[in-house]
A and B are shown apart, each in its own frame.
Chain A
Amino acid sequence: MSARVTLATAGRVLRQLRRDRRTIALVLVVPPVLLALFKYVFDGQPRTFDRIGPTLVGIFPFVTMFLVTSIAMLRERTTGTLERLMSMPLAKLDLLLGYGLAFALVAAVQAGVTAAVGFGALGLDTAGPVWLVLVLAVGNALLGMSLGLFLSAFARTEFQAVQFMPAFVLPQIFLAGLLVPRERMAHALEVLSAFLPLTYAYDALAKATSDELGARLAFDAAVVGGCIVLALVLGATTLRRQTP
């Protein structure tokens, strides 16, 4: 593992993004627009928007980075660049951390723009510190990235990879407690939700935005951190030096 290769990988990933202006625009514009959409969908129930809105700032990067990473890794596999890299003096961790670094940076900008629009123009309010929402947003981006990286190994085409979004991300959003508190779901779903990483990511955001900066928040953050490491380790096992 080497800092030189990790940084070069991060630089390469960012250069690829930079060449793709439309993707950058979508990554930065879509979350604030969706947030505005939410505001007016809940026009008659402003309290619901006040409850969900601040946490959404931290959830968007999870979804975006899950999708972007799935496709990016699938491309590395199908175009043969992954095979080239695997035959070079590059540690798997260099590749994973390089992607992580690049996408964490993008996620920070994305969450910053969304937060600025949300807490500024849309009049959202949070009882807790905004910086903590941003830190959790970057953490969630890394969670999305590591899950996308791992799951992309099971997609053979971009069509399949895109379908992993509704298959693996939407259920986690439904069950995280964002729409309905978990204890009000069918019991089986409440139990199931305890095994999904986004449940803890959402709970951490809910605690942070209601200024409950206690042990529960620390526990949530630790679970998210553990899931990132676990998904990265599983993801690393899918980067094979040798293939059939």
Chain B
Amino acid sequence: MSAQAEPAIAVENLRVLRGGKLVLPEISFQVGRGVVTGLLGPSGSGKTTLIRALVGVQIVAGGDVKVLGRRAGSSELRPRVGYVTQAPSVYGDLSVRENLWYFARVLDAPRERIDEVIATVALQKQADQVVGTLSGGERSRVSLASALLGEPELLVLDEPTVGLDPVLRRDLWDTFHELASGGTTLLVSSHVMDEARRCDELVLLRDGRVVAMTTPDELLRQTGKNDLEDAFLALAEAA
């Protein structure tokens, strides 16, 4: 089997305990390459825990997580996987540009990438502003820009569009699809079902279990609903 034919993410019987609680009882799913997959589910459904397991920062209790054909968290994956945490993880006492300069050096990304990613997240005007003085939405865009620097093959984003204005949210989704058409695989989590329609594929999560692996159209057809929110409800109640 060629490397391209392999799924970007293959999770088998993953079990995760956090604080003595079984957050992911036993979860299995796959994510295809070069598409935008939405990881959707309500708050507390285990999205962040699952994402942490995929990028290899979560201690897991069992199961098998393969990312780009490697065991999740292996050092070989670190330059190939970009990870954006839910809370923006950037240095509040540095400017936007200084943050990106540092992460670019760590990733060995060329200097030109800094201006490119600043443009991608539309922060040109704030480039020399100290991150601590930015709004919450702007700060999360700095965090996203940092993950884009290294042009990773897989980009994992934990609720990247929370608190953004609708225009910017649409622009970001356009960016995600541009990246995907360039061959990047994206996994984007959200608790807003409305965002499901912007994804190529969906993984629906509830109480640490996969409720469905589908596409937005398929989900609507299958449940006979007109609205993704209603469709999710129908599935969740049937499960």
Contacts and interface: CB of A to CB of B under 8 A. Distances in A.
Interface of A: 4-5, 8-9, 11-12, 15-16, 19-20, 79-81, 83-90, 241-244
A211 to B, nearest CB: 43
A16 B93 contact: yes
A15 B100 CA distance: 13
Interface residues of B, number: 33
B57 A241 contact: yes
Query: Which A-B residue pairs are the 10 nearest by beta carbons?
Result: A80-B89, A8-B105, A12-B102, A89-B78, A84-B89, A89-B79, A242-B59, A87-B83, A16-B93, A81-B89
A88 B130 CA distance: 23
Interface of B: 17-19, 55-59, 73, 75, 78-79, 81, 83, 85, 87-94, 98, 101-103, 105-108, 130, 146
A84 B59 contact: no
Given A83-B57, A85-B106, A241-B73, A16 B91 contact: yes
Nearest to B86: A80
Contact of B83 (A4, A5, A84, A90): A84
Given A12-B98, A84-B85, A87-B78, 9 more contacts: A8-B102, A8-B105, A12-B102, A20-B93, A79-B92, A80-B88, A81-B91, A90-B78, A242-B57
Contacts of A4: 105, 108
Contacts of A12: 91, 94, 98, 102
Contact of A87 (B18, B57, B88, B92): B57
Contacts of A8: 101-102, 105-106
A15 B98 contact: yes
Contacts of B56: 87, 241-242
A244 B21 CA distance: 11
A79 B94 CA distance: 13
A88 B19 contact: no
* Residue in A19, A85, A90 whose Cβ sees the most chain B Cβ within 10 Å: A19
Nearest to A95: B106
Nearest to A242: B59
B83 A19 contact: no
14 contacts: A4-B105, A5-B106, A8-B101, A12-B98, A16-B94, A19-B93, A80-B85, A81-B90, A84-B146, A86-B57, A241-B56, A242-B57, A242-B59, A243-B59
A244 B18 contact: yes
Nearest to B19: A244
A87 B85 CA distance: 11
A9 B73 CA distance: 22
Contact of B89 (A5, A15, A79): A79
Given A80-B89, A243-B58, A87 B94 contact: no
Contacts of B101: 8
A11 B99 CA distance: 11
* Residue in B58, B101, B102 whose Cβ sees the most chain A Cβ within 10 Å: B102
B4 to A, nearest CB: 23
Contact of A15 (B81, B94, B106): B94
Contacts of B130: 19
Nearest to B143: A84
Contacts of A84: 83, 85, 89, 103, 146
B78 A88 contact: yes
B17 to A, nearest CB: 8
B73 A242 contact: yes
B106 A88 contact: yes
A16 B93 CA distance: 6
Contacts of A243: 57-59
A244 B59 CA distance: 5
Contact of B105 (A5, A83, A87, A244): A5
A89 B75 CA distance: 7
Nearest to B85: A80
Contacts of A19: 93-94, 130
A79 B93 CA distance: 12
A30 B85 CA distance: 39
A89 B85 contact: no
Given A16-B94, A79-B89, A244-B19, A88 B107 contact: yes
A88 B89 contact: no
Contacts of B108: 4, 89
